[in-house]
Amino acid sequence: MITVRLHRREDIPYRVKWMNNPKVNKFIGDRLGSKTTLKEQTVWFSNYQKDKTKKFFTICDQKKPIGFMGLKNISKENRNAELFILIGEDNYRGKGIGKIAMQWLLNYGFQKCKLHKINLGVIKDNIPAVKLYKSLGFKIEGVMKDEVCSNGRYYDFLSMAIFEK
Ligand SMILES: CC(C)(COP(=O)(O)OP(=O)(O)OC[C@H]1O[C@@H](n2cnc3c(N)ncnc32)[C@H](O)[C@@H]1OP(=O)(O)O)[C@@H](O)C(=O)NCCC(=O)NCCS
């Protein structure tokens, strides 16, 4: 059974493992395929705890952490935020868990945080992610051509959004 709980300090080693997994990081971050360290993620977590514009959650199978997701750049004034999701464990992608987790997070964003709009950015070639977001009702608001460069290849970046019902 898929459960969601608050992101915790003990999740830091999982963050490092997942963000360093080539199957996961090939389409995430400012530098595709980049590596991170325990030290970097420990600093990230300390900053995260002080940051009121971020709210992250750990996705679990029963109690086993399998990924994380969250809202960042939460703006109370504009009632919007940016969404992110990552299923880190290889055996858990492509099984519909992303959809379950995202439905939970959208509900949290719209019902609990009373957001009007949720944005996200995704590399156009990230087929599972784009499919997932479209199936949830996200619409493409803009295409940034050749926005990201990795290993000498340029990738288009999509800006997508969904509104409160
Ligand atoms: C993107 C991600 C969150 C999707 O979650 P998931 O649980 O693997 O996806 P789901 O099983 O819910 O499938 C979502 C859709 O993609 C399709 N899909 C999944 N894997 C696919 C693949 N390898 N190739 C083509 N389509 C695929 C599914 O059929 C589904 O489409 P449908 O609703 O039309 O049937 C997950 O793959 C992931 O964490 N990837 C690595 C990190 C990442 O890219 N995060 C997003 C950054 S913007």
How confident is residue 73, by pLDDT bands cut at 50, 70 and 90?
Answer: very high
pLDDT tens per residue, range 100-147:
999 999 999 999 999 999 999 999 999 999 999 999 999 999 999 999
Closest C-alpha to ligand 1, atom 25: 128
Domain extent, residue 76, equals 2-163
Where is average pLDDT lowest: 23-27, 39-43, 86-90, 108-112? 23-27
Ligand 1 contacts CB of residue 102 (under 6 A): no
CA of 94 to the centre of ligand 1 (A): 5
> Token pair for residue 62?
């029963």
Residue 94 has pLDDT above 80, yes or no: yes
Residue 30 has pLDDT above 80, yes or no: no
Residue 61 is part of a domain; what is its CATH number? Answer: 3.40.630.30
How confident is residue 82, by pLDDT bands cut at 50, 70 and 90?
Answer: very high
Query: Rounded to whole angstroms, how far apart are CA atoms 20 and 87?
Result: 12
Number of domains in the chain: 1
Where is average pLDDT lowest: 23-32, 73-82, 85-94? 23-32
Tokens 């009007």, located at residue: 116
**What is the mean predicted confidence (pLDDT) over 72-86?**
98
Closest C-alpha to ligand 1, atom 34: 131
How confident is residue 165, by pLDDT bands cut at 50, 70 and 90?
Answer: confident
The C-alpha angle with vertex 55 and arms to 53 and 59, in degrees rounded to 5, equals 160
Torsion angle, alpha carbons of 109, 115, 116, 117, to 10? -50
Cα–Cα distances in angstroms (integers) from residue 62 to residues 9, 27, 129, in the given order: 19, 27, 24
| Best residue for ligand 1 mutational test, from 132, 157, 159, 162 (most atoms within 8 Å of Cβ) | 132
